Amino acid sequence: MGLSVELHLPPDIHVGGGVSERAGELAKGAGLSRVLVVTDPVMVDSGVAGRIAGHLEEAGIATATFSDIHGEPTTDYVDAGVEVLREHEADGVLAVGGGSPLDTAKAISIMATNDGPLPAYLGYHKIPNPGLPLIAVPTTAGTGSEVTRVTVITDTSRDVKMMILSDHLLPRVALADYKLTLTCPPGLTANVGVDSLTHAIESYVSAKANPVTDGFALQAARLIGANLRRAQANGNDEEAREALMLGATLAGAAFSNASVALVHGMSRPIGAHFHVPHGLSNAVLLPTVTRWSLDGARARYAAIAREMGLAGADASDEEASEALVDELDALNADLGVPRLGQLDGVTREHFDRVKGDMAEAALASGSPGFNPRVPTAEEIVALYDQAW
């Protein structure tokens, strides 16, 4: 009784070693003939972007590349990318890279077919028209952006991280190829790995969770929890990389449908004010915010702990949920995730000056409203201080 499941996912999702080699064939299948490849300088220099563009060219698709993306995605990058897209007369977009190129490409794809401006689409379901078809190829595990209907773009005129959710942001094809993550450096592996674990945990305890997203989220938590330390210690551990990519994809599918919660709500203002990458600002907050949230959903946090093998079936919910937070603390320590106060560019004076505004921005994003325990602005400030 009362069961209600809604799922919004890309029509084609491919997960596995080597699936990115099918980009040309799948782009052709989607009816594309001129594709804008959106990526970043790291992917160009490593040859990965060129290799994927080569697969498109082999299939008879004309490509142009936009790679002028440095750090977190901004409205400026989107505008510049749309210009290249128009020059190329592209009928589709392929994104290859971490969350920044993927999120930028999503915005470029919808700005090709909508009048904008992009900030007009901030929030939920505001984009009028579908975008150009998008093929998303992540090289980290990961933001899960390849399977989500969300993009987060910084509005450079106001220093606000805009969360935009719309079914029109769903990629047409997701190609989650763990082989592309083998060269992901240890620090980035850790940050985006904890971010993906955050997606799993937050979607499982979210007020919008449903039985399908629950299955995705628990499986993701198990895969990520068991493999993140391994992948950071040895980037070439293919078994660990493969598990993490599947975990990140499942976690993305979970949160895109069940929403994220307080960690992400509090993380975006840190990124906007201090230009801290998304994965890192979430990783920093996860243990502190989870500990505070436990009382809102003991049984749910306990279920995650049991799935991750942190507590036996006979442990009480109280014991199991505490074991989860202990593990989140240990994981951050083992992976070398810093404290909030240790982040590059974050000074105590600047932080104290803006933390009230950050708390208001966190609440305004809507994400904290889905947390099992919903904070006031004062409580959010106290949580920021605890994470310091």
Question: Binding residues for Fe ion, per CB under 5 A?
Answer: 195
Shortest reach from residue 61's CB to Fe ion, in Å: 31
Q: Which CB sits closer to Fe ion, 37 or 95? A: 95
Q: Which is nearer to Fe ion, 195 or 317 (CB)?
A: 195
Least separation in angstroms between CB 119 and Fe ion: 21
Nearer to Fe ion, 150 or 380 (CB): 150
| Residue length of the chain | 388
Min dist CB 276 to Fe ion, Å, is 13
Question: From the CB of 191, what's the least distance to Fe ion, in Å?
Answer: 10
Tell me if the bond preceding 117 is cis, omega within 30° of 0. Answer: yes
Q: Which helix (H) or strand (E) covers residue 14, if one does?
A: strand 12-15
CB-wise, 152 or 320, nearer to Fe ion? 152
Nearer CB in complex with Fe ion: 271/375: 271
Angle at 171 between CA 182 and CA 169, to 5 degrees: 125
Question: Least CB distance from residue 145 to Fe ion, whole Å?
Answer: 9
Q: 275: which residues sit within 8 A by CB, 6+ positions away?
A: 71, 72, 345
Q: Write the DSSP symbol of residue 238.
A: H
CB of 285 to Fe ion, least distance (A): 11
- C-alpha to C-alpha distance for 164 and 126, rounded to whole angstroms: 8
Which residues are paired to 151 by β-bridges?
A: 164
Our CB check for Fe ion shows the closer of 177 and 195 to be 195
**Dihedral of alpha carbons 29, 33, 39, 44, sign:** positive
Q: With beta carbons less than 8 A apart as the criterion, state whether 110 and 162 touch.
A: no
CB 220 to Fe ion: min, Å: 12
195/242 with CB nearer Fe ion: 195
CA distance 386 to 388: 5
For residue 139, what is the DSSP state?
S
Q: Which residue is nearest to Fe ion (CB)?
A: 195
- H helical segments located in the chain: 23-29, 41-45, 48-58, 75-88, 99-111, 186-205, 211-233, 238-258, 262-274, 278-293, 298-307, 317-335, 348-364, 377-387
